[in-house]
Each structure stands twice: as structure tokens, then as C-alpha cells.
Structure 1
Amino acid sequence: MDPQTLMAGLGSARLLAIIRGADEEACFRTAITLIDEGVAYLEVSLNSANAPAVIARIRREAGDDAGIGAGTVLTADDVARVADAGAGFVVTPAFGPSLEAAVAVGLPVLAGALTPSEAYAAMTGGASAIKLFPASLGGPAYLKALRDPFPDVPFVPVGGVDLDAAAEYLRRGAFAVGVGSPLIGDAAAGGDIDALRTRARDFLAVVRDAPQ
């Protein structure tokens, strides 16, 4: 997936599901359930069980056009592993060597940053978007403050984004929102899939109703 394709698709979807879990089969089942419900973009964290294999399996099941990425990508070796697995983009928790490595192989990056300096450095280093993390430290008001000097930077708040926060971040100009446990719940640990479907529909409704 090239950066232009990711940004067009994620900017339309406005929701990135974040899967992290110790049960490989449950992580896969969670991803497929989300895709079935219409969640078009998701990341599998590398601190999940056998994450590259899970990514590869999702890719085979969902097809080449699915928005499947890898999260918690920290090193150049991480980039190589997830690229081989078929990840279409990478997400980092911080500004570091994985950004340069991913850009070098043409993978778009949502680079983790919190401060203005970090966001600026990541964007000038080739990031496609900024993963504002942990967004819960400043909340929607902090996002608005960042967008004043950086109106053209696509910010994706991650960390503590529940339904109410998702709506408010999008209202304050977030490019998209990244949602982990408030959406995934216990599904990636083998929990209730029907409850996951309900949560997915709730988040999709928030995204659909948010101002553009």
C-alpha cells in the first residue's frame, strides 16, 4: 500500500482498530470479525502472539486490498518482518529508526508523537500521519492546540479513545482515531465475539455521524 492510498482510505474510514493479544487464533478471529463488520483499517501490534504470522493470515483471508498494518514497530528488523508478512503500513509508538526503514521500502508510517517537536520531526522524516500518543494525556483540547500551528498535519489520536472521545476528537479535526481496548474488549483474548460486533457497529456509527 502506497502512502497516497493509505491516506485516502484511512481519511475516508476515519477508524483504525488496534488488535493486541496473547492468543494468536483469537487475534485472527477478531480481525476477520472487524473486517466483516466494515472496519476497513486495522493494525496488529507486534507484541501480540506471533504477530507477523497473524498479519500474513489476515492478508491471505482478506485479500491484497485490505487495510492491514502492523503496530508497535520499533526497529528496522521489525519493518522487514512485517513487510514480508504483507503489512500495508506500519504504526510506531515513537519517533525512531523504524520510520526511516519503512519509508525506505515504501511503507507508509503513522509515527508516534506527543509534542510539537516530535510531530514536526516525524513528518519531515517521511511519516504519512502522526499517531498522537498517548492522546489521553491532553485529550481533544490538546489536539486542537496542536492543529493551530500544524493545520495540515493528519493527526490520529490513540490511547483511551472510547466512543465519546472518538466523537470529540473527530469534531476537533482528527484525521482518524485509533481505538484499542474500548473496541476490542476481550475478543483478542478469546472473549465474546458478538459483543465485539456490537462495539464495532457503535464505533462505525460515531465515525459515520462525525463532521468531515
Structure 2
Amino acid sequence: MATRDSDMSGGTGTGTLQRPAMSRILQANPVVAVLRAGHAREYAPVIEALAGGGVRSIELTLSTAGVFELLPELTSGFGDRIEIGVGTITTESEAREALAAGARFLVTPVTDVGIVQAAVEHGTPVFPGGLTPTELLAGWRAGATAVKVFPASTVGPGYISQLRGPFPELQVIPSGGVAIEEAPDWIRAGALAVSLGGPLIGDAFKGGDLGELTRRAERVSALVADAVSARSGG
């Protein structure tokens, strides 16, 4: 599914842009879990524990070995109840390999227009990373579903309201140092979703209690849901 924006450049021209839409899974619970492990074969039980707590948008980072090889198996095993994307993508060739392997969304730590366009052509949601207004606007104009403010902990939630002044249409997802208790602050500030790694995953890949991981997932899901409801006046 895609939404149509007027003018790919963000101006007032006559071109159109098919911007891939946010998934229904992420709409239902706007939390992305960022997973890093020694090897992708460690992912399945952690994904299951996160899903048990309501977090069903899972980013597998390319800093982990075996992601491309095991992605089809993981996607097939979890089916439609989970969406698995690939993150830490820094080249267009990695983007196309991730798409071919079945990634449901792409995430980058940088603003690379070629990566964004590869995802847009495929109709797949893409969240390019950036920090400065120039970087974020470039990713948005290229067709990003939302731009990833990274590292978010260096600027804080107030940065979104500052960006919305000159760029009212910009959709933002903070990532990098977002704590569980801070997640609702970002939502109230206008974030489309929040992305959490270490604060959510904790010691899950080091023999930690997966029941505790599920409880952390439940906690952040509840906090974000309350913030979304408050923001919408519900």
C-alpha cells in the first residue's frame, strides 16, 4: 500500500510520489524492536517473547551474521502476525538483497537516496536515518515512509516540534538511546512511532529471562498506546 504525495521534490510541481505506507502492524502498536545478536539463529525465541508483549515490528540489523540467509525462514515461521524488516542498511545493493529476501521494511542509519528509491520502487516502507534538517528532508523527499532521527538521544523529543515548524508534513521515528519510559514523550511530541534497542532487549541475547523481555514489551506497548490515545484526544 502506498500513499500519493504531490511533487517528489517536496515543492509545488506536477510530479507524483508513491510513498510506501506504514504497515497495519506498526499502526496498531507503533513500536519497533531493534535486534542485534551474534548470529541470526538466535533471533526466533526473542522475537516470540517480544510478540507476546505486543511488539510485532522487528528490525534485524545487518551487524548480525546470517540475516539474509535466515530471513526467509523467520518470515515464513512467524507469518503475518509479525513484520520483520532489515536495518543497518548502508548500500543500495544491501537494500535490494534485503527486499529479495522478503524484508517487510528497511531501516538505515544514514540518508542515502538510492536506498530509499529502491524501497519505494518495491512498494516497501523505508525509514532512512538522519539527524540534521537537511538529511531528514532529503530522505522524506526521496519517498521515505518516515525519517529516522538518529541518534535520537542527542536531541530529545522537543526536536520533533522544532522540525515541524518548517516541515509540517514530516513523519519521524526516533531511534538510538530511546528509553522505555521516554517512549511516550516522543509520541506526544508527534513521532509516528518509536524504535528501541538495548533498553527494550536488555540481556535477552545473553541468557536473560525472556519472560522479563515480554514484560518490558508489554510496558512500552502500554505507555505508547496511552500516549497515542492522549494525543488523539481519546
Calculate the TM-score normalised by the size of structure 1: 0.91
Instruction: Please point out which of 135, 155, 168 is paired with 1:138.
Output: 155
Please name the residue that 2:12 is paired with.
Answer: none
CA distance in 1, matches of 2:206, 2:66: 14
Q: Return the alpha-carbon distance in structure 2 between the equivalents of residues 204 and 111 of structure 1.
A: 23
Residues 105-138 of structure 1, C-alpha deviation per residue, up to 9 Å, x if partnerless? 2222111111111111111111111011111111
> 1:69-90 CA distances to partner (integer Å, 9 max, x unpaired)?
1101111221122112211110
Q: Corresponding residue for 1:60?
A: 76
Count the aligned residue pairs. 211
Q: How far apart, in 2, do the equivalents of 1:191 and 1:26 lie?
A: 13
Which residue in 1 is equivalent to 2:199?
Answer: 182
2:41 to 8, 15, 25: 25
Check if 1:199 corresponds to 2:212. no
Q: Which runs of 5+ in 1 are unaligned?
A: none
Give the distance between the partners of 1:190 and 1:53, measured in 2 at CA.
Answer: 24
Once the two structures are superposed, the pairs formed by residues 1-150 of structure 1 within 5 Å of their partners are 3-4=20-21, 6=23, 8-64=24-80, 66-96=82-112, 97-150=114-167
Distance 1:190 1:44 in 2: 19
- Select the structure that is richer in helix: 1
Shift of 1:34: 1.3
Verify the 8 A CA contact 1:43 1:69 in the aligned structure 2: yes
- Flag the 1:159–1:32 CA change in 2: closer, same or farther, 3 A: same
- 8 Å CA contact retained: 1:27, 1:54: no
Tell me, yes or no, if the aligned pair for 1:23 and 1:188 is still in contact at 8 Å: no
Q: Give the Cα separation in 2 of the matches to 1:64 and 1:77.
A: 26
1:64 to partner: Cα distance: 4.1
Deviations 1:51-73 (CA, angstroms, capped at 9, x unpaired)? 12342222111114632111011
Contact 2:57 2:84 in 1 (8 A): yes
Q: CA RMSD in A?
A: 1.8
Structure with the greater alpha carbon radius of gyration: 2
Identity %: 38
Instruction: Report the 3-state secondary structure (helix = DSSP H, G, I; strand = E; otherwise coil) of the residue aligned with 1:139.
Output: coil
Match of 1:162 among 139, 157, 179: 179
Q: Distance in 2 between matches of 1:191 and 1:57?
A: 24
